[in-house]
Amino acid sequence: MRQDNEAILVVDVQKDFCPGGALAVPGGDEIVVPITALVPEFKVRVFTQDWHPANHLSFASQHQDLDPFTVTDMPYGPQILWPDHCVIGSGGAAFHGRLDTRTADIVIRKGFRREIDSYSTFFENDQSTPTGLDGYLRSRGVERVTLVGLATDFCVQYSALDAARLGYDVTVLEKLCRAIDLDGSLDAARKSMADAGVTLA
Tens digits of per-residue pLDDT, 50-97? Answer: 999 999 999 999 999 999 999 999 999 999 999 999 999 999 999 999
The pTM assigned to this predicted structure is 0.96
Residues belonging to the active site: 12, 110, 155
pLDDT at 172: 98
Is it the case that residue 40 has pLDDT exceeding 80?
A: yes
The arithmetic mean of pLDDT across residues 18-29, rounded, is 97
pLDDT at 189: 97
What separation in angstroms does the CA of 103 have from each of 10, 36, 156, 157? 11, 9, 20, 24
Q: Which sign does the torsion angle of CA 111, 109, 174, 147 carry?
A: positive
Listed by start position, the domains of the chain span 6-51+85-200
Is it the case that residue 1 has pLDDT exceeding 90?
A: no
The arithmetic mean of pLDDT across residues 168-172, rounded, is 98
Do 116 and 158 touch, CB atoms closer than 8 A? no
The arithmetic mean of pLDDT across residues 147-174, rounded, is 98
Question: Could you report the per-residue pLDDT of 136-153, keeping only the tens digit for each?
Answer: 999 999 999 999 999 999
Superfamily of domain 6-51+85-200: Isochorismatase-like (3.40.50.850)
State the chain's mean pLDDT as an integer: 97
